[in-house]
Amino acid sequence: MSNNKTARRDYIDIMKGLGILLVVLGHFMEQFRFGFKPIGATFICIYLFHMALFCICSGLVAHFSLWKLITQQVWLYAVGQAIMLAFRAVILREDFAASGGLLLAFLLPWRHMWYLYALMFWMLTVPLLRAIQRRGLLASTVGMAAAIAIGLLGGCVNWPFDLGRVFSFFPFFAFGVLFAEPFRSWQKRWYAWGPLAAAIVVFYTVTVQRIVTAETPVYEGARIFQSDAYAVGGYLMQDRAVFYLLGFGTVLAITPILGLIKPLASLGQRTLPIYILHMPLYALLVQLGCYEVCASHGLPAVITWLCFIIPAVVALCASAPVCAILNGIANIWYKTLPALFSRRG
């Protein structure tokens, strides 16, 4: 592999490494966001861009294969949902009959599983997006405008089957596919990066100050989770447009400096087990009452807890045995068994 290709692969791994850290950080601080304003401000700032980063990464490396879609992505979603279902039944003791039944609980994504759910739908658009990309920058720009329009109009419908985020986050995935090459060269354009980075820093500084100084805890649910139709809590199409602007702007502002954070590359290669397994661990800790005890001791205890538990969970989920097991399960139909049969043949 050439040095150029290796550098590109490492850069995407660095982006994924940062993305997964932000995902875990956001989830593990969620219980504290209303009780402690600095935590709430950090939480909202993370949610304004962390999934945009993740979705763009997926688009950058997306290549359509029906075989891979069925034998790896659909299979992985089914395995992940089965793990979550067992956890919910045994640990959380959920009453599935009250929420639509066991089959619906298995088919529809539980909490963080929405991303793997959405990714299966997004992958079906890759052949079209690649065809648009091959027609040049102007065609890609038009395609991107169409993707944003789909995302904006998607909020006009109260989608069944948890499809809301499939539409709302699609523009970020489409951007990664349509602008893969320009995006990779963006990190070298320091003359354009500086003003954008400055504007983003100012925005987040003002946002943190606004939340910390507010008289009551600030709730931005619909505007940061992007899973609701418009009109929920005053949520408007303009709010989603601002969300897109911030998502793209923040990712473009931070990417030129990410190449300096080399240790994140190894973490980015292990995002799958971290993503799937961190949420059950978080839910278990909540179930055990750890968060209530921690919150009762004030902000210093909360910060200490987060600084301890997040690295511990990431290290556990990213450990070699866990990765080997989960990656083995994920690739059993896509790589392992076909390779075994080909050797025998």
pLDDT for 72-104, tens place per residue? 999 999 999 999 999 999 999 999 998 899 999
When the pLDDT of each residue in the chain is averaged and rounded to a whole number, the result is 92
Could you tell me if 143 and 136 are in contact, meaning their C-beta atoms sit under 8 angstroms apart?
no
Mean pLDDT of the region 155-162: 95
Could you tell me if 142 and 159 are in contact, meaning their C-beta atoms sit under 8 angstroms apart?
no
> How many H helices and E strands in the chain?
21, 0
Statement: residue 339 has pLDDT above 50: yes
pLDDT band at 7 (very low <50, low <70, confident <90, very high): low
Cα three-residue angle 197-202-206, rounded to 5 degrees = 150
pLDDT at 190: 59
Mean pLDDT of the region 58-62: 95
pLDDT at 183: 85
Burial 324-338 (b: 16+ CB within 10 A, else e): eebeeebbbbbeeee
**Structure token pair of residue 59:** 């688009």
| CB-based contacts of 66, cutoff 8 Å, min separation 6 | none
φ, ψ of residue 120 in degrees (nearest 5): -60, -40
Statement: residue 237 has pLDDT above 50: yes
pLDDT at 181: 87
pLDDT band at 255 (very low <50, low <70, confident <90, very high): confident
Could you tell me if 82 and 106 are in contact, meaning their C-beta atoms sit under 8 angstroms apart?
yes
Statement: residue 8 has pLDDT above 60: no
Statement: residue 24 has pLDDT above 90: yes
**Structure token pair of residue 296:** 């009762």
Q: In whole angstroms, give the CA distance from residue 83 to residue 283.
A: 13
**Structure token pair of residue 90:** 């045994």
pLDDT at 3: 54
Of residues 48 and 5, more confidence is placed in 48
Mean pLDDT of the region 299-324: 97
| Percentage of the chain exceeding pLDDT 90 | 81
| Chain position carrying tokens 């556990």 | 316
Q: In whole angstroms, give the CA distance from residue 317 to residue 164.
A: 29
| Percentage of the chain exceeding pLDDT 70 | 95
The per-residue pLDDT for range 164-223, each reduced to its tens digit, is 999 999 999 999 999 998 887 776 665 667 888 899 999 999 999 999 999 888 888 999
| Chain position carrying tokens 């076909």 | 338
Helix axes 170-178, 126-134, angle to 10 degrees: 40
pTM, full prediction: 0.94
Mean pLDDT of the region 146-171: 97
Of residues 181 and 58, more confidence is placed in 58
Structure letter (DSSP) for residue 318: T
pLDDT at 1: 44
φ, ψ of residue 109 in degrees (nearest 5): -65, 135
Nearest to 333 by CA among 155, 116, 71, 118: 71
DSSP letter string, 273-315? HHHHHHHHHHHHHHHTTHHHHHHTT-HHHHHHHHHHHHHHHHH
pLDDT band at 6 (very low <50, low <70, confident <90, very high): low
Distance, C-alpha 191 to centroid of its chain: 29
